Amino acid sequence: MAKTNPGRFFEDYSVGDVITHAVPRTVSGGERALYHALYPARHALYSSDEFARACGLKASPIDDLAAFHVVFGKTVPDVSLNALANLGYAEGRWLRPVWPGDTLRSTSEVIGLKQNSNGKSGVVWVRTRGENQHGETVMEYVRWVMVRKRDAAVAAPDPVIPDLKPALAAADLVVPEGLDFSGYDFALAGETHRWGDYQPGEVIDHVDGVTVEEAEHMMATRLWQNTAKVHFDATLREDGRRLIYGGHVISMARALSFNGLANAQMIVGLNAGAHANPCYSGDTIRAWTEVLERAETPAPGVGALRLRLVATKGGEPFTLRGEDGKYLPHVLLDLDYWALIPM
Q: Which of residues 236-295 bind a second copy (CB under 8 A)?
A: 236, 242, 259-262, 282, 284
Q: Which stretch binds a second copy (CB under 8 A): 8-16, 145-153, 214-222, 294-302?
A: 214-222
Decide whether 75 or 115 has the Cβ nearer to a second copy. 75
- Nearest-10 Cα torsion for 315, 321, 323, 326: 120
Looking at residues 125 to 184 of the shown chain, list those that interact with a second copy (rule: CB under 8 A). 133
Binding mask 89-108 for a second copy (x = CB under 8 A): -----------xx-x-x---
Which residues on adjacent β-strands are paired with residue 173?
none
* Minimal distance, residue 213 CB to a second copy, in Å: 4
Decide whether 162 or 315 has the Cβ nearer to a second copy. 315
> Is residue 189 at the binding interface for a second copy, with CB under 8 A as the rule?
yes
Looking at residues 284 to 343 of the shown chain, list those that interact with a second copy (rule: CB under 8 A). 284, 314
The one among 10, 11, 13, 38 contacting a second copy by CB under 8 A: 38
Decide whether 2 or 155 has the Cβ nearer to a second copy. 2
Q: Which stretch binds a second copy (CB under 8 A): 90-98, 158-166, 167-175, 209-217?
A: 209-217
Q: Which stretch binds a second copy (CB under 8 A): 113-121, 198-206, 271-279, 299-307?
A: 198-206
**Whether the Cβ atoms of residue 139 and residue 74 lie closer than 8 Å to each other:** no
The one among 136, 177, 213, 296 contacting a second copy by CB under 8 A: 213
Q: Which stretch binds a second copy (CB under 8 A): 144-152, 221-229, 243-251, 317-325?
A: 221-229
Decide whether 209 or 278 has the Cβ nearer to a second copy. 209
* Minimal distance, residue 51 CB to a second copy, in Å: 6
Residue 323 burial by Cβ neighbours in a 10 Å radius (0-12, 13-18, 19+)? exposed
The one among 18, 23, 152, 169 contacting a second copy by CB under 8 A: 23
